[in-house]
Amino acid sequence: MARNDICMGFVSLYIMKLKVSVMAVLLVVSMGAAVTPATAATTQENNASAEAGAHVDFETKSNAVVNYSVNGQTVVENLTVQSASENSNDGGLDVGVDVGFSASALSLASSLQAGGNAEITTDSGATIEAHDNQRGVMVVRSGGDSQAVQMGISKSSSAQSEGDKRVVVTNDNGSQATVLATGDGAVNVSEDGNVSARTGSNGEVVYRQYEGERSDGDKSQEQMITNGTATAEVYLQQAADSAEDGTERSANVVQYGADTTVDVTQQTANRVNATVDRSQSEGRAVIITVADEAFENAENAEVFVDGEAAVQADSYSEVQSATENGNSSAFLVQQSTSAEATADVVVGINHFSTRAVSLQSEDETTDDGAETTESDDSESSTDGTETADSTDGTDADDSSGDGPGFGVIAALTALLGLALLAGRRL
């Protein structure tokens, strides 16, 4: 009898220790589950300055945009902005970047989404727009007051001035980028080999990066941007999260100046419809860069403006002439000769205010350019970026038991139950 009592005592003691151990483990697991989200949030907060899209990634520091990378290649290592009135060299066009330049504080106004835009504001009143497209276009806007802009380029690149409106940056691998000035802005190469620019009161500084060497067509487009003929660009791309068949598409719109807006209203494999609005009546051009996977047979495309067929031009000069109060609008199609799998459709619109532009290929048109296929279900916002309902893939119901650590908790709970059952039987 005494032996049974001793055995029961040992069993009771063992069960009590087992209960304590199980409860301790449950407490640790519970605390770990509570701490994990906080740790992730801290990591995300620490990396809040890093921005990444499908083509572009960069970081924002307190007073600089750094490591601006386009398709994996970094040419601009840092970009800073300051009000020209506070800069002793009025933009530092003839001196090194470190002389008389005090960079303005920056803040990220809107984050970069794949295929979209990021906006960075400065204390000096300027805004910097980073566009997630194949050329990684970046635009520095004046905000009404002339701004001084400094770009530090990578050691593997060299800059050369081509007049006061364009600087060409060439990388060791032969790829190129350009820095352009519009309006009353200007750009030059500083004494230390970097790029200095000023926006002027009504101009902009524009950065474009190419995967290879610029073509003659690229150079003509740059000229149209600097002289104010091309007031908008549209990049038609396959969405970053789309299926291989390319059914998901996005449109990234870059605006030069405040008087022209482009709203892409429909985008399919053979049709793109857009509304181009301009406050001034004079004609202007819109550059449409089409990725091969987003639009089929661009080389055979036709363009309609307000339902009327535009004339196919043979040169950029003919497109330019169309914008100068021509009898009709005109367009030019050029296949890219660089590493980019794209085609450029440059549309010269002969006059404004609001014009409906349609780019169509194959059997998508009737004689009057009317639509003959069903519309794509996607919509575009005012900046031309495709919008759609999206989720993060998580289940709103957290009671499914699939969360981290659920299996461990269930096993320990079951073990505790067995221990209690064994105690009752003894």
For the segment 78-108, what is each residue's pLDDT rounded down to a tens digit? 999 999 887 655 444 443 444 457 788 999 9
For the segment 101-120, what is each residue's pLDDT rounded down to a tens digit? 778 899 999 999 888 999 99
Predicted confidence (pLDDT) at residue 377 exceeds the cutoff of 70: no
Task: Write down the pLDDT at residue 358.
Answer: 98
For the segment 150-197, what is each residue's pLDDT rounded down to a tens digit? 999 999 999 999 999 999 999 999 999 999 999 999 999 999 999 999
Ranges 48-52, 63-67, 359-363, 420-424, most confident: 63-67
Task: Write down the pLDDT at residue 337.
Answer: 62
In angstroms, rounded to a whole number, what is the distance separating the alpha carbons of residues 179 and 197?
A: 9
CATH code for the part of the protein at 47-214: 2.70.98
Task: Write down the pLDDT at residue 5.
Answer: 53
Residue with tokens 């941007």: 225
Predicted confidence (pLDDT) at residue 342 exceeds the cutoff of 50: yes
Residue with tokens 């990066």: 209
Question: How far, in whole angstroms, is CA 130 from its chain's centroid?
Answer: 6
HSE-CB at 248 with a 13 A cutoff on CA atoms is: 13
Predicted confidence (pLDDT) at residue 146 exceeds the cutoff of 90: yes
365-372: long-range contacts (C-beta < 8 A, 24 or more apart)?
365/302, 365/304, 368/307, 369/302, 369/304, 369/307, 369/308, 369/309, 370/307, 371/271, 371/273
At 239, give phi and psi (nearest 5°): -60, 150
DSSP line for 74-136: EEEEEEEEEEGGGSTTTTTTTS-TTSS--PPPEEEEE---TTSEEEEEETTS-EEEEE-STT-
CA 110, 116, 122: angle at the middle one, nearest 5? Answer: 35
DSSP assignment letter at 190 = -
- Alpha-carbon Rg for the chain, nearest whole angstrom, is 30
Task: Write down the pLDDT at residue 144.
Answer: 87
Task: Write down the pLDDT at residue 87.
Answer: 64
Average pLDDT over every residue of 45-54: 71
72 torsion bin: left (phi>0), alpha (psi -120 to 50), beta (else): left
In angstroms, rounded to a whole number, what is the distance separating the alpha carbons of residues 146 and 388?
A: 38
Predicted confidence (pLDDT) at residue 12 exceeds the cutoff of 50: yes
Predicted confidence (pLDDT) at residue 213 exceeds the cutoff of 90: yes
At 171, give phi and psi (nearest 5°): -90, 160
Whole-model pTM: value is 0.74
The token duo for 189 is 């190469």
Closest listed residue to residue 193, CA positions, set 247, 153, 235:
153
Average pLDDT over every residue of 317-338: 91
The token duo for 66 is 């750094």
Q: What's the one-letter identity of residue 112?
A: L
Average pLDDT value for the chain: 78
pLDDT greater at residue 337 or residue 107: 107
Lowest mean pLDDT among 86-100, 258-272, 295-309, 369-383: 369-383
Task: Write down the pLDDT at residue 106.
Answer: 92
The domain limits of the chain are: 1-46, 47-214, 215-389
Task: Write down the pLDDT at residue 8.
Answer: 53
Average pLDDT over every residue of 34-45: 34
